[in-house]
Amino acid sequence: MDQDLDAYWMPFTANRQFKKSPRLLARAEGMHFWTPEGRQVLDGVAGLWCVNAGHARPRIVEAIRQQAGELDYAPPFQMGHPKAFELAERLVKLTPAELNKVFYTNSGSESVETALKMALAYHRVRGEGQRTRLIGRERGYHGVNFGGISVGGMVANRKMFGTLLAGVDHIRHTHDLQRNAFSREQPAHGAELADDLERLIALHDASTIAAVIVEPVAGSTGVLIPPQGYLQRLREICDRHGILLIFDEVITGFGRLGSPFAAEHFGVTPDLMTVAKGITNGAVPMGAVFVRQAVHDAFMNGPEHLIEFFHGYTYSAHPLACAAALGTLDTYEEEGLLTRGRGELARYFADAVHALKGQPHVIDVRNIGLVGGIELAPLPGEPGKRAFSVFLDCWERGVLIRTTGDTIALSPPLIIEKSHIDQIVGTVADALKRAA
């Protein structure tokens, strides 16, 4: 092992394999990375679902540069700085009208923790402190903090960390290969799976349940798209029983589906909505929780000099992050990127990924907006190995994809052109033909 690589314990990485054959990135611009040796690699996954506007965009770079020289840090507790308020006003113009309050965090994981705490505290300040139960979904991903992995439903993320939070349960996932394989956009079957929430309500009693959290489109588990009517049904059940609905839009937010947020795309407004990633185009870590007015106002009681919600982070509303986010919003607006993943480009992307049907090992293709999932049959007794081999093959041929289990995930920057789509999908097709 090269000593220069030894000290860094890498996250979500097969460290031993990586350090035998490192995949290093040294520079990025537009749709591409470059390795230290100068080899160009097309970014098929927007970094990590986050670089929606492409790399090294001038407005974002300059906003960060100027801010670093003007105000590098401002304490967020009992203090503020102008860009934090400016950014909040601009953000809520993009969300559904009811979601008009913003609480800043530093990542998707922190956004989820914040939303879960808000939900619990909301019921307590309303006199329903017995509502302490949180409901997630099987195969859900909500970051890696204890709250997030507790409501999350990905086994590998949970199994090593003990009993996690008490009082958490899960509704079943929506993946149904038998009925919905090779669906375009939302599959036709499965709205009734939302009724699994009624089963848990009957088991635990609604009066004990604080919130339900789901990803509108489940990304890290393999691009699982909600069946038609499913999210609407979840909303109706939550309303009927006084349960808050949380959408985790860390992946779907900021144009990934061809709308600013999945809440608008699907016509379902949650009570709380978590975001991160695309809020700053990945340039500076940042996250946020959007909150309904009524949820926010429930906290605004008691003496005015007292803190209403005992929660926050040293780097909440960090000046560099706010500057990066404002530069990102400018870029999105000027180039129409928040709605570019719909219409002709989305159809071209859909046609391209669905052309992989019939390639070796492909058992399903899923797509919505500018996100696609290609599910492969696993190698017997070696889950994930086949998809990982495709990932390595594509890397060697100049295309970066992402795999989760035996699903290939594609989520390119929203500046993608048809020629890039052809290169990504063509490289994947060739790699599939070479895969064991």
The domains of the chain are located at 3-57+338-434, 61-335
Task: Tell me if 325 sits within 8 A of 87, measured CB to CB.
Answer: yes
Per residue in 364-397, pLDDT tens?
Answer: 999 999 999 999 999 999 999 999 999 999 999 9
Q: What is the pLDDT of residues 255-302, one digit of tens each?
A: 999 999 999 999 999 999 999 999 999 999 999 999 999 999 999 999
Distance in angstroms (rounded) separating the CA atoms of residues 36 and 26 = 5
pLDDT of residue 79: 97
Superfamily name with CATH number, domain 3-57+338-434: Aspartate Aminotransferase, domain 1 (3.90.1150.10)
CA-nearest of 231, 232, 326 to 279 is: 326
Mean pLDDT of 237-250: 98
Give the right CATH number for 61-335 from 3.30.950.10, 3.40.1190.20, 3.40.640.10, 1.25.40.10: 3.40.640.10
Q: What is the pLDDT of residue 2?
A: 56
Helices (H), 71-145: 82-91, 108-125
Same fold, 3-57+338-434 and 61-335: no
Report pLDDT digits (tens) over 188-212: 999 999 999 999 999 999 999 999 9
Contacts of 52 (CB under 8 A, 6+ apart): 46, 254, 255, 256, 277, 278, 281, 332, 337, 413, 414
Write down the pLDDT at residue 3. 64
For 47-104, the pLDDT digits (tens) are: 999 999 999 999 999 999 999 999 999 999 999 999 999 999 999 999 999 999 999 9
Average pLDDT over residues 406-425: 98
Q: The whole model's pTM is what?
A: 0.97
pLDDT for the residue 416: 98
Q: What is the pLDDT of residues 144-203, one digit of tens each?
A: 999 999 999 999 999 999 999 999 999 999 999 999 999 999 999 999 999 999 999 999
Assess contact for 335 and 373: CB atoms under 8 A: no
CA–CA distances in Å: residue 16 to residues 7, 10, 239, 326: 12, 10, 49, 39
Segment (H or E) for 430: helix 418-434
What proportion of the chain, given as a percentage, has pLDDT over 90? 99
Q: What is the mean pLDDT of the chain?
A: 97
Mean pLDDT of 25-46: 97
pLDDT at position 436: 80
